[in-house]
Amino acid sequence: MKFPPISIAHKLLSDSKRLFIGAYGFEDRSLGWVKYQKEQGKIINRALMVRYLHPKGRNRISELRNAIASIGVINPIDIPYDVYFPQNIEDIFYQNINKEINKIDQVIIDISAMTKLLILVCLCKLKEFSGTVRIVYSEAEEYAPSYKDYNKSKDDMELIAKFPSRGVESIIRMKCLSSIRMQGQPVIMVSFTSFNEQLARHILGTISPHRLLFINGRPPRKDFFWREQATQEIHRRLIEEYSADNPLNKQGLLKRVASTLNYIETVYKIESIHKRFGSHERIICAATGSKMQTVGLFFSKMIFPDIHIEYPTPDSYFVKGISKGVRKVHEVVIPRFSEFLGKIKNINSIQQ
């Protein structure tokens, strides 16, 4: 079965009733999709916006509200989200989405300023929606850290790696992402590499798996190839400790790699892991990858309900900075969303 591809976002027309779900952010890309659509008139009818109670920076709330007003919604509904105590966001999302879902034909989810936990929960709460879902994502022109900043931070990362509890606040578990299947069986932890190794280390200490499988991230841009090398280097100690389950290619890079943008590659990697180990070992995935890898993780959970997903909340980042600019605005369009999710539960293999 083929998954819908990620493509350049369409300019929309006022031909459907639409609900927009997004989050107030502080980076340029938090405004990417709404600015991209600003000349299109009234293309959305309702809007739900996540307002962070403890934002990492000064969120551009007024700017985003004005942009949303220009495409149809003057008074979006704000959803408060406490990043330190997010356990109730599952019910809050369900209540707000449920009020709107019967009034619209399409849901647009802008994940550009969402945390990975929000992305997963929001998609889970749309499982019964029979209309079209558009997952939109604004790709930044430049991402933090820069190559220069990363090299400056290497020594600090080596020092911090000795302390397994630093770098995260807590491990978050949601009902919609959990699984009680195969309790008591050997545990495999699947984690995505990132620029914060402590995300993997902290969750590793809470579940004590007998296998740790990393999926490295490969940016689609050639000028960002160094980031694939960097995220592997950051996790070098753990990769060496679990070397039997993390084979390297001739260039010394992890063989298990998935695009940071093309979510289908993530689905394919999780499928291959599940085929090999899922019948006799419990698979726990840590949501530590890119935003689009997280979209792939959601679909993997829909295909394999026995997969359990946990989210380590970042407490700090060792490399400071924010992304800048908007390079491209992407989207994944899924008509008849609930029907699509029903079909993928029964697939035997995923076509790339």
Does 2 reside within a domain? no
Pair (79, 226) in one structural domain? no
How many CA within 13 A on the CB side of residue 278? 17
Contacts of 19 (CB under 8 A, 6+ apart): 44, 45, 46, 47, 48, 97, 100, 101, 103, 104, 106, 107, 108
Does 301 reside within a domain? yes
Contacts of 287 (CB under 8 A, 6+ apart): 116, 117, 120, 192, 294, 297, 309, 310, 311, 312
Rg (CA), the chain: 20
Does 194 reside within a domain? yes
pLDDT at residue 84, as a whole number = 80
Does 78 reside within a domain? yes
Are the CB atoms for 282 and 183 separated by under 8 Å?
A: yes
Q: Which residues of the chain carry a pLDDT beneath 50?
A: 159-168, 352
Pair (16, 78) in one structural domain? yes
Pair (87, 156) in one structural domain? no
Domain that holds residue 198: 147-314
pLDDT at residue 340, as a whole number = 96
Pair (24, 101) in one structural domain? yes
The length of the chain is: 352
pLDDT at residue 321, as a whole number = 66
Helix (H) or strand (E) holding 310: strand 308-314
Q: Could you tell me the CA-to-CA distances from 166 to 55, 312, 313 in Å, in that order? A: 20, 11, 11
Helix (H, G, I), strand (E, B) or coil at 102: helix
Does 319 reside within a domain? no
Pair (113, 178) in one structural domain? no
pLDDT at residue 345, as a whole number = 81
Domain count, the chain: 2
What backbone torsions phi and psi does residue 237 show, to the nearest 5 degrees? Answer: -60, -45
Pair (73, 185) in one structural domain? no
What backbone torsions phi and psi does residue 239 show, to the nearest 5 degrees? Answer: -65, -40
Pair (334, 237) in one structural domain? no
Q: How many CB atoms lie within 10 A of CB 179?
A: 16
pLDDT at residue 73, as a whole number = 97
Q: How many CB atoms lie within 10 A of CB 103?
A: 10
pLDDT at residue 315, as a whole number = 57
Gap between the Cα atoms of 317 and 196, Å rounded: 6
Pair (301, 335) in one structural domain? no
Helix (H) or strand (E) holding 287: none
pLDDT at residue 153, as a whole number = 75
pLDDT at residue 164, as a whole number = 38
Gap between the Cα atoms of 328 and 204, Å rounded: 35
- What CATH number is associated with residue 53? 3.40.50.11700
Report the predicted TM-score, pTM, of the whole model to 2 decimal places: 0.93
